[in-house]
Structure formats: C-alpha cells, structure tokens
Amino acid sequence: MKKSILITGGAGFIGSHVVKLFVLKYPDYKIVNLDTLTYAGNLENLKEVESSSNYFFEKVNIQDAQALNSIFQKHGITDVIHLAAESHVDRSITDPLAFVMTNVIGTVNLLNVAKEFWKAKLDKHLFYHVSTDEVYGSLHDGGFFLETTPYDPQSPYSASKASSDHFVRAYANTYGMKTVVSNCSNNYGPNHFPEKLIPLCINNIKNNKPLPVYGKGENVRDWLFVKDHARAIDTVFHQGIVGETYNIGGFNEWKNIDIVRLLCQKMDEKLGREPGTSEKLITFVKDRAGHDLRYAIDATKIKEELGWEPSLQFEEGIEITIDWYLNNQEWLDHVTSGTYQDYYKEHYES
C-alpha cells in the first residue's frame, strides 16, 4: 500500500463521504476510518465500501491517547485527515465541555500521537485538519471570509474549532509537523444528521411537523454539496501546500427562511401536495443564543491555486438531497429513533 491514511470521524456526515471517495478512488491506499460512533456516527453511511479490501474501521475515541497510539502502530499510519468533532452549534450551547473534550483535547491527543509515531521522519507525513468557516465569526457589513481574516469565534462550537486550528498550526511551527488546514462553509447532502436545518426540515415536512425557524429567518449561510467538499479535501490532501490554509465554499448564500421555503415548494411537488401546503408548517421560534448573522466564504484561492471548484449548482444538489431522504426512510428511521427523540423534545418542545 502506498499510504495508510487515518480518517477520523469517518462515520459522520462529511467523513463518510470522504472515506467513500478515498476507498473507491485510491485502491492502493489503506483507509482506516477511526470513529467512536457518537449519536452522529453511523456505519450505515459506509455500506458501499464496508467490504472493500483497502477499508478498515476502528471504534476509538480520540480522547484516548493510548488507543490512538495502538491504531497508529497496528496500521502503520502515514497520514491523517482529521474530521472527528462535535459539530452541532446548538448542542455546544447546552454542553460546551463536550466540545472542549473532543474538539480541543481530542485534536491535541491526535497531534501528540502522530508527532511521536512519525518522529523519525516528521517531514514525510501530513496531518490534514478539517475545519469550519465559523472560526472567522459573523459577517455584518458585507464582504467575505478570506484565509487571512482574523479568527473571531462566537459560539462554544466555533471557539473549540478555532482552538484546535491554533493547536495544529502551533505543532507545525514548534515541532515542524507537516500540516494543512481547510475551512469550509455549510455542507448539505445525503447522510446529513437531521438535527441540522436542511435535513431537519425535509424530515419534518415529510411528517407534517412544524418547521422551527430561529428568530426571523434572516441569518445567511453559504451552502456547499457534501460531495464537492469531499472532492476539495481530496484536492487539498494531494496538492495543498504544506503549512497553508484553504477556504472551501460554493459562493452560494441563502437566508434561512428562503431555504426553508424552497424545501417546502420542492417537497410539495414531490409529495403531490397542493402548492403552499408545507409552508403552513413554518413556525418562527426563539432565536439561537449568540446566533451568527452571516457566513460567506471567498474560495478564490483553492480555485486559482489548486483548480478546485464546486461541480453542482444548488438547484441540482438540493434535488439529489431531497430524493435521497425520500428514498432512504430506513436510514431516517434508524437515526431518529431513541436519543434523537429526547434531544428533539428537550430542544424544541420544552
């Protein structure tokens, strides 16, 4: 095998798309998916590759340095693509410490283990850290996030991701580790856990349940199809310049209320409902605490320097996404049973 790549968080939404892309595109790489399988991790996301000879799964928590060390030894890990994280802003508001434990402590553990395991030839191995545009804060007066925009995280989630980004860069500067960081905007697509806006609305429209829009629905997010993010990660992993940061985004800004209305309209068509039926489900609810107003990524650098750009228009991506949820009821049933119901009641109905 040419490389043995540890992909953390590979059972989650984005991680599973990255694992599938790498396993299928690079049969001469060994792909080790390391995931502790929190509520957000789901091995059903990986059915297409689970029996591939270059795919391995390890159920390990990145907070456990000893277990991480054994995995590096067992698989002779040559490179890391790090996605494992607590990822939901609302959960970070109720339980910030869980985000510190995984996103900060877990990342530092992983850096330590990689540094120690690779110490003979630190310059031959890459630690790729996958991060978010939320570290840049909130845009209020126009403009875009550039790679040089100063960090200004506003939620416990983004503060924990910003901290992990700083640690990765500190390990490059202090110990000479080869690192690269990318910061991406909001992803959408198949396998997205239905606590996040788009899959939550698709699921609720299907079930005729209220669509909870925070505040006035005026907040703006910049949406990118998840498979395009996975393609960007492939590009950065293979062509990115060591020590650099790449912003990834689709130049595709939407107000939340407009996204929800679009989903209602598309779902009415697909479910054969009268136009306007699903919009009646829209319910304005209490705003998220400290709700960031607008995110917008300037993805010029990755386009000009590495030749990556999104392959799908939003209209196409959202069609694919809605169809996926309509055709994968079993997946939805599995992820929305049990603790999801408790979370939903606690967050939206109490």
Active site positions, annotated: 133-134, 157
Are 246 and 301 in contact by the 8 Å Cβ rule? The answer is yes
Are 308 and 235 in contact by the 8 Å Cβ rule? The answer is yes
Give the binding range for ligand DAU (CB under 6 A) out of 111-119, 127-135, 137-145, 334-342.
127-135
Least distance from ligand NAD to the Cβ atom of residue 17, Å = 8
The token pair at 70 is 């054994």
Are 235 and 306 in contact by the 8 Å Cβ rule? The answer is yes
Least distance from ligand NAD to the Cβ atom of residue 218, Å = 20
Least distance from ligand NAD to the Cβ atom of residue 349, Å = 22
Give the binding range for ligand DAU (CB under 6 A) out of 43-51, 139-147, 209-217, 298-306.
209-217
196 vs 266, beta carbon nearer ligand DAU: 196
199 vs 240, beta carbon nearer ligand DAU: 199
- Gap between the Cα atoms of 203 and 208, Å rounded: 9
35 vs 292, beta carbon nearer ligand NAD: 35
4 vs 164, beta carbon nearer ligand DAU: 164
Amino acid, res. 277: T
- Gap between the Cα atoms of 235 and 230, Å rounded: 9
61 vs 265, beta carbon nearer ligand NAD: 61
Site for ligand DAU in 240-279 (CB under 6 A): 256
Residue 130: contacted member of ligand DAU, ligand NAD, none (CB under 5 to 8 Å, by partner type)? ligand NAD
Closest CA to 236 of 245, 225, 227: 245
What sign has the CA pseudo-torsion 23, 26, 32, 35? negative
Residues that bind ligand NAD (CB under 6 A): 8-9, 11-15, 35-38, 40-41, 61-63, 83-87, 102, 106, 130, 132, 161, 184, 186-187, 193
- Gap between the Cα atoms of 42 and 17, Å rounded: 12
Could you write out the DSSP letters of every residue in 256-308? Answer: HHHHHHHHHHHHHHHHTPPTTTGGGGEEEEPPPTT---B--B--HHHHHHH--
- Please tell me whether residue 139 binds ligand DAU under the rule CB under 6 A: no
Tell me how many residues contact ligand DAU (CB under 6 A): 19
Closest CA to 13 of 199, 283, 147: 199
Contacts with 87 (C-beta within 8 Å, 6 or more apart), sequence order: 12, 13, 40, 157
Residue nearest to ligand DAU (CB): 132
How many alpha carbons fall within 13 Å on the CB side of residue 106?
24
- Please tell me whether residue 182 binds ligand DAU under the rule CB under 6 A: no
30 vs 227, beta carbon nearer ligand DAU: 227
Amino acid, res. 163: S
- Please tell me whether residue 134 binds ligand DAU under the rule CB under 6 A: yes
Residue 30: contacted member of ligand DAU, ligand NAD, none (CB under 5 to 8 Å, by partner type)? none
- Please tell me whether residue 197 binds ligand DAU under the rule CB under 6 A: yes
Among 40, 200, 205, 281, binds ligand DAU (CB under 6 A): 200
What sign has the CA pseudo-torsion 41, 45, 51, 56? negative
**Which positions lie near ligand DAU, rule CB under 6 A?**
87-89, 132-134, 185-186, 196-197, 200, 212-214, 219, 221, 256, 288, 295
